[in-house]
């Protein structure tokens, strides 16, 4: 094995890689997905009832409703927009506040509020929203609460919001999409364009070619993992350990990519595997997303051993003792995969 | 048009597809994966806000509110039992009313009401329960409310008959399943163009029209059979099967036409994949809007798949009949004609 040749090959990968559509896609897709998911899923999975308001006057109730955390309030310019939004399900209930609404309330007169309810809204939302509006109206009227309330939280485990549950999926997406796709497409493309044959008749060995492709995959995969964690503000305190775990995860991704690249004859088949076999990669992320699924199911998937330490360090302030066992299993998987790469590489050489 | 040639081409394409055992196996695995995803998703919708209650004396308004849909109090015999239920996460919230609450309210005193929350309870639930209890107390003390709410339901009223998330997701799964065939077809054509087998075919008595008809038949039947099979297994054909099957057929034609367009744009397999993924992302937006209502605004109507998803959603989830969706079907057909015509023209020009 010649280090100089590996560096030359690696340089070739980095120079010619960015010209390849797949290279750009492997970086852009996880980032785009992260941004969309962060923006969208932050509120999509929210159980909060959604209230739409058209204020024909200048009511304080709108401001008060927007200040409440238990519901999501949106203001609309006119009744037509409000009705459209309600019909679409953008809001569960839309109300129209008449002019001088606040004066009517303060004078203890009665005002009729037109309301539109989305037909698919949940029964509980249909009771929560009118109750909240009634409560705000009483507050506006200056009525005093006839009871005193004390809240007590029981138990010691905290719940996980959706925005956090998605992070494992996003990290896996970043690390594995980049780590698996780059080396696999690179090998397949070289096979298809016959450049692979050209390289192997030079002094460069298949090991050196694979190391160069793996290095590029690992560097970009770790980079993507770090970027996604930073974008989600989930880098945690144990940065060095986290990067180390991402590195081991990236090795697994790249190894799988090289095996696929060596065994698969074309990109279509690779994408077909990605389409169907993706569940094997993303299984643990799905387990993290839905706490109802027993956690032991996650252990079945190899990617669990890359993901659990990342989740533990980045989101649960875990330490080495919380992840050590899984890290050792991950290292073992990485080593076992090396043997599979050797077998795949031997087969590739026989066919070249 | 030479039907013998078309038949021979379709048989050849199918034979090539299924001769590759791996390809065939993966296609089956793809359907199985989507089926697994569907069946692990919740099959019902939790419409009610369920709250634990310990009250030696239940105020009349607490009993009255239980007749409304959306809120249910589960009574417990002691404070201890309620605390245990909250700690065991049977309920997210519990309410303790003092024994003499009625006397205190009647005499103008302010009774102390204790609310218990599990650590799982999101902040919005805490606020909502507090608001509900306050409102019940207002009502119990007969305080004046300055508003009347006059409500109108917009869209089909699904109260008590909500669509489970897996049935909303079913739409996304079936669309994805048949959409991937678009990418497969585009890749197949790109491969034939790359390897010049297309030109070889065109020097035979086969015409370009025969070639397109054969590819169209192959693409449509592959996509349609998978989609129909999936929908049949997940119960998607239980209501309005004829509408859904026609929509799936039109969808398959649309994606096959899109496959032609992509193949005409792509200069090689990788570019074809890139365009394919981009098209899939755009085409899946309306299905995303069905999964998460209110997220896609009216601009979604410009995406051809909007009409496909709307028809399948309306027919399979809301049991809508021909009279309400014929316009969507018509628009979908027009889109289909444009896409298929555009795809054939663009690809035909490329062959020339």
B187 found inside a domain? yes
What's the pLDDT tens digit per position in A25-75?
777 777 777 766 665 555 445 578 999 999 988 889 999 999 988 888 999
Q: Provide the pLDDT for residue A36.
A: 64
Of chain B, the percentage scoring pLDDT greater than 70 comes to 95
User: How high does pLDDT run on average in chain B?
Assistant: 84
Q: How far is B148 from chain A (nearest CA, A)?
A: 5
Q: Provide the pLDDT for residue A38.
A: 62
* B237 contact partners, CB below 8 Å, separation of at least 6: B228, B231, B244, B245, B316
B148 found inside a domain? no
- Of the candidates B161, B167, B154, the one whose C-alpha atom is nearest the C-alpha of residue B317 is B167
Sheet hosting strand B112-118, strand order edge to edge: A148-154, B112-118, B93-96, B49-54, B71-75
Say yes or no for a CB contact (<8 Å) between A135 and B135.
yes
**Distances in whole angstroms, Cα of residue A337 to Cα of each of A267, A298, A310, A341, B34:** 22, 20, 21, 6, 28
Domain count, chain B: 2
Are residues B211 and B335 both part of a single domain?
A: yes
Q: What is the mean pLDDT of residues B71-99?
A: 87
User: How high does pLDDT run on average in chain A?
Assistant: 83
Of B125, B140, B155, the position where a domain reaches its end is B140
Say yes or no for a CB contact (<8 Å) between B128 and A266.
no
CATH code of B107's domain: 3.40.1710.10
Q: Provide the pLDDT for residue A160.
A: 65
Q: Which residues in chain B are contacts of A276 at CB distance < 8 A?
A: 26-27, 29-30, 33
Which tokens hold the place of A347?
């087969």
Which tokens hold the place of A28?
């852009």
Eight-state DSSP code of residue A291: T
Q: How far is B91 from chain A (nearest CA, A)?
A: 11
Are residues B188 and B277 both part of a single domain?
A: yes
B311 found inside a domain? yes
Separation CA B290–CA B236 (nearest Å):
15
Which tokens hold the place of A288?
């993290």
Q: Provide the pLDDT for residue A7.
A: 82
B68 found inside a domain? yes
Q: Which residues pair with A12 in a beta bridge?
A: none
3-state class of A235 per DSSP?
coil
B145 found inside a domain? no
Q: Which residues in chain B are contacts of A124 at CB distance < 8 A?
A: 47-49, 70-71
- Domains annotated on chain A, with CATH: 3-42+160-351 (no CATH), 47-141 (3.40.190.10)
Q: Provide the pLDDT for residue A46.
A: 59
B8 found inside a domain? yes
Are residues B80 and B182 both part of a single domain?
A: no
Neighbours of B169 (CB within 10 A): 19
Q: Which residues pair with A54 in a beta bridge?
A: A76, A96
- The pTM (predicted TM-score) of the whole model is 0.68
Q: What is the mean pLDDT of residues A225-236?
A: 80
Q: Of A109, A123, A159, which has the smallest distance from its Cβ to B69's Cβ?
A: A123
Chain A residue whose CA is closest to B36: A279
Hunting for tokens 């209502």 — which residue is that?
A: B293
Residue B236 lies in domain = 3-42+163-351
Q: What separation, in Å, do the N-terminal and C-terminal C-alpha atoms of chain B show?
A: 19
B9 found inside a domain? yes
What's the pLDDT tens digit per position in A98-144?
988 888 888 888 888 899 999 989 888 888 899 999 999 998 888 88
Of B74, B105, B140, the position where a domain reaches its end is B140
What's the pLDDT tens digit per position in B146-191?
888 888 999 888 887 888 888 888 888 898 888 877 877 787 787 7
Instruction: Determine whether A277 is exposed, middle or buried from the number of CB atoms within 10 Å of its CB (0-12, 13-18, 19+).
Output: middle
What's the pLDDT tens digit per position in B202-260?
777 777 788 888 888 888 998 899 999 999 999 989 989 999 999 999 999 999 899 88
- Position with higher pLDDT, A289 vs A63: A63
Say yes or no for a CB contact (<8 Å) between A89 and B180.
no
Are residues B109 and B171 both part of a single domain?
A: no
User: Hey, which residues 290-309 in chain B have their CB within 8 Å of chain A?
Assistant: 292-295, 297-298
ipTM above 0.85, yes or no: no
B158 found inside a domain? no
Say yes or no for a CB contact (<8 Å) between A147 and B112.
yes
């Amino acid at each position: 094995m010649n280090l100089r040749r590996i560096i030359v090959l690696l340089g070739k990968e980095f120079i010619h890689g960015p010209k390849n559509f797949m290279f750009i896609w492997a970086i852009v897709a996880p980032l785009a997905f992260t941004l969309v998911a962060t923006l969208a899923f932050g509120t999509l999975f929210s159980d909060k009832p959604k209230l739409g308001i058209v204020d024909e006057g200048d009511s304080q109730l709108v401001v008060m409703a927007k200040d409440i955390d238990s519901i999501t309030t949106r203001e609309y310019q006119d009744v037509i927009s409000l009705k459209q939004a309600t019909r679409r399900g953008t809001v569960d209930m839309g109300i129209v506040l008449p002019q001088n609404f606040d004066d009517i309330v303060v004078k203890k007169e009665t005002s009729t509020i037109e309301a539109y309810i989305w037909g698919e809204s949940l029964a509980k939302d249909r009771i929560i929203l009118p109750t909240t509006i009634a409560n705000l109206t009483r507050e506006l009227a200056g009525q005093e609460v006839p009871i005193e309330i004390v809240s007590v939280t029981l138990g010691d485990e905290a719940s996980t919001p959706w925005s956090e549950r998605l992070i494992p999926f996003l990290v896996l997406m970043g690390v594995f999409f980049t780590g698996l796709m780059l080396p696999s497409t690179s090998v397949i493309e070289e096979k298809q364009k016959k450049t692979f044959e050209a390289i192997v008749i030079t002094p460069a060995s298949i090991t050196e070619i694979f190391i160069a492709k793996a290095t590029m995959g690992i560097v970009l995969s770790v980079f993507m993992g770090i970027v996604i964690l930073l974008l989600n503000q989930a880098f945690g305190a144990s940065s060095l350990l986290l990067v180390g775990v991402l590195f081991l995860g990236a090795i697994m991704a790249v190894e799988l990519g090289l095996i696929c690249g060596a065994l698969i004859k074309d990109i279509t088949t690779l994408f077909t595997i990605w389409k169907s076999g993706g569940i094997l990669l993303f299984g643990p992320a799905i387990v993290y997303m839905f706490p109802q699924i027993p956690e032991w199911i996650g252990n079945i998937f190899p990617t669990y051993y890359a993901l659990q330490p990342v989740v533990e360090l980045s989101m649960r302030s875990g330490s080495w003792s919380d992840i050590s066992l899984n890290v050792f299993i991950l290292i073992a998987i990485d080593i076992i995969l090396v043997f599979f790469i050797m077998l795949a590489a031997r087969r590739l050489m026989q066919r070249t | 048009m030479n039907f013998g040639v078309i038949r021979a081409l379709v048989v050849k394409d199918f034979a090539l597809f299924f001769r590759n055992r791996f390809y065939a196996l993966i296609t089956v695995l793809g359907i199985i994966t989507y089926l697994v995803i569907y069946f692990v998703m919740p099959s019902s919708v939790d419409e009610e806000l369920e709250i634990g209650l310990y009250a030696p004396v239940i105020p009349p308004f607490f009993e009255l509110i239980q007749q409304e849909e959306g809120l249910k109090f589960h009574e417990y015999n002691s404070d201890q039992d309620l605390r245990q239920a909250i700690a065991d996460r049977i309920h997210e919230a519990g309410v303790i009313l003092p024994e003499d609450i009625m006397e205190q309210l009647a005499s103008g005193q302010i009774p102390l009401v204790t609310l218990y929350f599990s650590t799982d309870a999101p902040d919005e639930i805490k606020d909502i329960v507090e608001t509900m209890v306050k409102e019940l107390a207002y009502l119990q003390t007969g305080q004046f409310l300055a508003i009347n709410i006059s409500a109108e339901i917009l869209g089909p009223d699904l109260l008590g008959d909500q669509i489970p998330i897996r049935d909303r997701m079913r739409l996304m799964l079936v669309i994805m399943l048949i959409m991937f065939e678009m990418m497969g077809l585009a890749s197949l054509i790109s491969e034939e163009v790359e390897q010049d087998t297309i030109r070889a075919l065109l020097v035979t008595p086969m015409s370009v029209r025969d070639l397109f008809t054969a590819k169209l038949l192959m693409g449509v039947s592959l996509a349609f059979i998978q989609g129909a099979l999936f929908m049949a297994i997940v119960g998607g054909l239980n209501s309005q099967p004829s509408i859904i099957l026609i929509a799936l057929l039109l969808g398959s034609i649309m994606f096959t036409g899109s496959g032609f367009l992509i193949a005409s744009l792509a200069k090689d397999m990788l570019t074809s994949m890139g365009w394919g993924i981009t098209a899939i992302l755009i085409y899946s937006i309306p299905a995303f809007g069905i999964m998460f209502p209110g997220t896609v605004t009216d601009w979604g109507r410009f995406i051809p798949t909007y009409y496909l998803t709307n028809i399948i959603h309306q027919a399979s989830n809301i049991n809508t009949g021909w009279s309400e969706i014929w316009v969507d079907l018509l628009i979908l057909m027009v889109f289909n004609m444009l896409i298929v015509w555009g795809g054939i023209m663009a690809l035909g020009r490329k062959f020339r």
